[in-house]
Structure 1
Amino acid sequence: ADQLADVGMEAIHPKASKPLERAGINLRIKNTFDPLHPGTLITKDYVGKESKIEIITGSDKVVVIEIHDASMVGQVGFDFEIMKIFKEHHVSYIMKATNANSISLVIWENELSEDLVRGLEREFETVRVEYMAVVFLIGSNIAKPGVLAKAATVLAEKGINIHCISQSLRQVNMQFVIERDLYTEAVISLNRELCFNNRWVN
């Protein structure tokens, strides 16, 4: 439920899922247009019997802010300095990807402001803003070799380049940043191959 709320799913308020999890209360999502369907039950400790991508969602209303600074290498607290500026402007990021001297942060487009960008530019060497889309794949028992590769292959076969990628150690979801005009094609292709065709289910 946390993952769904994080991507702005309107059925679950971002602050509503956490109390349910802490209290051990399960959440069932129903389809308004198919009320007899049992829906999807979200529980705290559920692990599927097989690897399966269950939800593919995202948004084409995000921007990527890339901060590049040669002095970042080995510097303790570099991220903290960025977060201080984000906090000052009341902005929370959806996703983060890093390398030795760059940090890319994905935020909602409606939270982008000139003041935020100027604040970052005053402190860091290079700040770049790109209007992009982000695709989220949420699943069960996907902490297995090949799951990420197969999802990326679906996009590659459609000629869709992945600009940033993120997956935490828990491996309950993966996130791809792609070109905005390819968002719909990406979601349809991933759903078709990974959810409906079960192309790679073990």
Structure 2
Amino acid sequence: MIVMKFGGSSVESRAQIEKVLHIVRARLARRPVVVSSAHKGMTDALINAAKAAATGRFDPSVPVNKQRAVAESLGCAPDLLAPFYEEIADLLRGISLVKELSPRSLDYIASFGERMAVRCIADFFARSGVPARAYDVWDLGFITDANFGRARPLPGFDARIKAMFAERVPEGIVPIVTGFVGRNEAGEITTVGRNGSDLTATLVAAGLGAEEAQIWSDTDGVMTADPSVVKTARNIPTMRFEEAAELAFFGSRVLHPSTLLPAMEKGIPVRVLNTNRPDHPGTVIDFDTDAASPAVTCIAYRERQVVLKISSTRMFGEVGFLAQVLAVLARHEVVIDVITTSEVSVSMTTDDLGKLSRALPELEQFGACEVLPNRTTLVIVGQGMPRQKGVAAQVLDAMAQAGVNVEMLSYATGSVNLSMVIEDAHVASAVGVLHHSLFEKAR
């Protein structure tokens, strides 16, 4: 059995869904389970309509018309999604009346994209000769906590998923399953976070003990850099989980940050493939690969980060200073990514200026606080970095050539990633020069 996740760009139109049909049909012998995202742009359309409704502007036409156009192009019967269109209108009307959009309501409205997409796709598959049936993932055992916007399955989810699949998915049927969404024990709809359908896929794969989880997108697997920034970026044939996890967290556009954890726990390989070039081998992510590890595997980045710098002579030789600072940040739920220290200052990055701002009054008791927005965490990832001399020197030399100032630098002993903080405005030039230095010069 394989679990195949198709992203929004893979199911955005009839032309793309026909590609998905051919890909799935060619793998029927491997008993595919298909996890689908919403059609490209649908989740944004739903959320924008909900935000507009919260200001009193009731207009369900944009998401409804967008979905109706895809359904009609696939030849779906008009009544297939009629109940969903009515429910969307009712929900948006309610939001417009109370002028309030809670996290619970936001998850509810966002869920319609996947729920409608899987029904259209399953209907199209069935009429095209591939026996398929649509399933909401909660009907297959995916019950979550009540953390709206970032829900996670309850303990024991893998056993529930395995049992419910055996009970509810007939032999020979290709299940088309909603990604991104879930349901808590109270029956309320939740979501696992934006771009979370790939997380759903690996969680389902873990529950079913699948031989492989496949993430189908619009790139040739994981690339050495963001191909929209570096036109010469190339495919990485094999990666270790540790490298891929770093890339996902630090900005790889291919994988959701939490995707790899369920697969790692169950030892299930993850293969990243291109819907538009299904014969391309893509990238295989596993614990062990046959290929020798290069010093550097990939360059990734996270834009729109915030740097907090606290300067204080109290740090010098004081026991527990940093622990106290981190305790304040924890109380305000500020997630810290990169941290560097000296004897009289500490600098750290986060992605939530709002939470950091609320923590500042308490932080100022420790010293002078400086907040620097519009920063990017730029990372160089490679399993072989700890064993090869001169990589850091090569990286910093490339940054100097690009005329980019490195404001923070972090590299732990034996780490697979070297992290730098630069200004957002310098990302394109920094990544381009780095890629040329690390990947193209050696070719």
1:5 aligns with 2:242: no
* One-letter code aligned to 2:401: E
Aligned to 1:76: 319
Contact persistence 1:48–1:141 (CA under 8 A): no
Contact persistence 2:333–2:355 (CA under 8 A): no
Identical-residue share of aligned pairs (%): 28
Q: Secondary structure at the match of 1:30?
A: strand
Residues of 2 paired with 1:120 and 1:18: CA distance?
A: 33
Residue number among 17, 40, 44 corresponding to 2:287 in the alignment:
44
Shift of 1:50: 5.2
Q: Secondary structure at the match of 2:334?
A: coil
Aligned to 1:118: 361
| Structure 1: gaps of 5 or more residues | none
Shift of 1:113: 4.0
* One-letter code aligned to 1:124: F
Q: How does 1:1-202 map to 2 (within 5 A)?
A: 1-9=244-252, 11-46=254-289, 49=292, 51-109=294-352, 112-121=355-364, 123-131=365-373, 132-143=375-386, 144-198=388-442
Distance 1:50 1:18, change over 3 A: closer
Q: Secondary structure at the match of 1:86?
A: helix
Shift of 1:165: 0.4
> RMSD of the alignment, in Å?
2.2
Contact persistence 2:381–2:417 (CA under 8 A): yes
Deviations 1:22-45 (A, max 9, x none): 322222222344332212222234
The 10-residue stretch of structure 1 (180-189 or 5-14) with the greater mean CA deviation from structure 2: 5-14
Q: Secondary structure at the match of 1:5?
A: helix
Residues of 2 paired with 1:51 and 1:197: CA distance?
A: 14
| Structure with more helix by fraction | 2
Deviations 1:139-196 (A, max 9, x none): 1311121011101111111211111001122221111111221111111111122123
Contact persistence 1:47–1:140 (CA under 8 A): no
* One-letter code aligned to 1:82: V
TM-score normalised by structure 2 residue count: 0.42
| Structure with more strand by fraction | 1
Structure possessing the higher relative contact order (Cα contacts under 8 Å, 6 or more residues apart) = 1
Residues of 2 paired with 1:180 and 1:147: CA distance?
A: 23
Shift of 1:128: 0.7
The 10-residue stretch of structure 1 (9-18 or 146-155) with the greater mean CA deviation from structure 2: 9-18
TM-score normalised by structure 1 residue count: 0.86
| Structure 2: gaps of 5 or more residues | 1-243
The 10-residue stretch of structure 1 (9-18 or 174-183) with the greater mean CA deviation from structure 2: 9-18
